[in-house]
Amino acid sequence: MTIKLDGKQTAADIKAHLAERVARLKEQGIEPGLGTLLVGHDAGSVKYVAGKHADCAEIGIRSIKHELPEDVTFDDIAAVVRDMNADPACTGYIVQLPLPKGIDENAIIDLIDPAKDADGMHPYNLGELVLHVKGDITTPLPCTPRGVIELLGAYDIDLNGKEVCVLGRGITIGRTIGLMLTRRAVNATVTLCHTGTKDVADHMRRADVIVAAMGSAGFVKPDMIKDGAILLDVGVSRVFDEEAGRWRVKGDVDKACYDKAYAYSPNPGGVGPMTRAMLLANVVEMAERQLG
């Protein structure tokens, strides 16, 4: 019977454990704080940031909210970033992307204190991930790849020796998950496919695991996967539902694939909740490192 990788339940279990760790930190005089910087009023970004602060309330982390209007300058944003770097109440923080047109996002990310990089996407932290093929990593990890690995681990799915096909080369997961999957602790073999890949379906049919992160609704079809494949659906598209008369979130994996798979993560309800849980985990770990 096909296994549904329930990200909502797994994330809830992780958050319950994190709440216990936060309580122990507070007993020792440390209150973790998550900061967010939201620029403009993009509907998706507003909802996502609100969700992060709801998660904070759930596990006892302090919320630190910064908001700026759409028409701010680079210097305005940089000033808030520097304030959060200096704020001892802010254990870790994120700058919500995308930023307004004309703002150099990479330059803003470069200004983040790597020790407070809750997303795990600062160049220094990514560099540490590149360098540490084995052993423990004491810098923040990218949330979405970490969420994928934690979700599989919750269902005792071992990736040692598995062939993993990653679809999409975006920085959020496509370009970073290979760094984590090929560490000795996981020990998978990774093929990264993108718009320049010839015969993507051929790569997919050979894969034990497919991580679909293209943002192309229903791209992965049953004839593109082998029997018993494990499917991680990370892509997000908004598709208009004619029957319901409203927009819905749809993933990259066609639901017709589920019967052929060994396991799959639904979308929504799979990797998304895990990403948010890993953001909290990064912040709690940052606070724990303050205790040595």
pLDDT in tens for each of the 292 residues of the chain?
Answer: 899 999 999 999 999 999 999 999 999 999 999 999 999 998 889 999 999 999 999 999 999 999 999 999 999 999 999 999 999 999 999 999 999 999 999 999 999 999 999 999 999 999 999 999 999 999 999 999 999 999 999 999 999 999 999 999 999 999 999 999 999 999 999 999 999 999 999 999 999 999 999 999 999 999 999 999 999 999 999 888 888 788 888 999 999 999 999 999 999 999 999 999 999 999 999 999 988 7
Among residues 96, 117, 162, 233, which one is catalytic? 96
Contact indicator for 221, 253 with CB cutoff of 8 Å:
no
- The β-bridge partners of 192 are 166
Shared domain check, 108 and 42? yes
Choice among 52, 116, 162, 250 that is catalytic:
52
Q: Is residue 149 part of a domain?
A: yes
Q: Is the CB of residue 159 less than 8 Å from the CB of residue 190?
A: no
Range of the domain at 180: 143-272
116 carries an active-site annotation: no
Domain match, 264 and 171 both: yes
Q: Write out the binding residues.
A: 168-170, 236
In a domain, 23, yes or no: no
Return the pLDDT at 257.
Answer: 98
CA 66 to CA 84: how far, in whole Å? 9
Quick check: helix, strand or coil at residue 159? Answer: coil
Beta strand segments in the chain, E: 3-4, 33-39, 62-68, 92-95, 163-167, 189-193, 209-212, 230-233, 237-241, 246-250, 263-265
Cis-peptide into 140, omega within 30 deg: no
Residue 10 located in a structural domain = no
129 domain-assigned: no
Does the active-site annotation cover 52? yes
Give the type of residue at 222: P
Find tokens 């010839």 and name the residue: 198
Torsions phi, psi for 114 (to 5 deg): -55, -30
> Is residue 96 annotated as a catalytic residue, yes or no?
yes
**179: its two tokens:** 């760094």
CA atoms within 13 A on the CB side of 102: 6
Last residue of a domain, one of 68, 97, 115: 115
In whole angstroms, how large is the CA radius of gyration of the chain?
19
Q: What is the CATH number of the domain that holds 43?
A: 3.40.50.10860
**Are both 236 and 193 inside the same structural domain?**
yes
Residue 157 is classified by DSSP as -
Active-site residue (options: 6, 117, 119, 233):
119
Q: Please enumerate, by residue number, every residue annotated as part of a binding site for NADP(+).
A: 168-170, 236
Q: Which SS3 state, helix, strand or coil, does residue 273 take? A: helix
In a domain, 281, yes or no: no
Question: What phi, psi does 65 have (nearest 5°)?
Answer: -105, 130
pLDDT for the residue 232: 98
Q: Measure CA of the first residue to CA of the last residue in the chain; give whole Å.
A: 45
* CB 168 within 8 Å of CB 214: yes
Q: Please give the angle made by the CA atoms of 117, 101 and 143, to the nearest 5 degrees.
A: 25
Model-level pTM? 0.95
Same domain, 98 and 189: no
pLDDT reported for residue 239 = 86
Residue among 290, 291, 13, 292 nearest 150 (CA): 13
Domain match, 97 and 157 both: no
Phi, psi dihedrals of residue 151, rounded to the nearest 5°: -65, -45
| Bridge partners of residue 66, in order along the sequence | 37
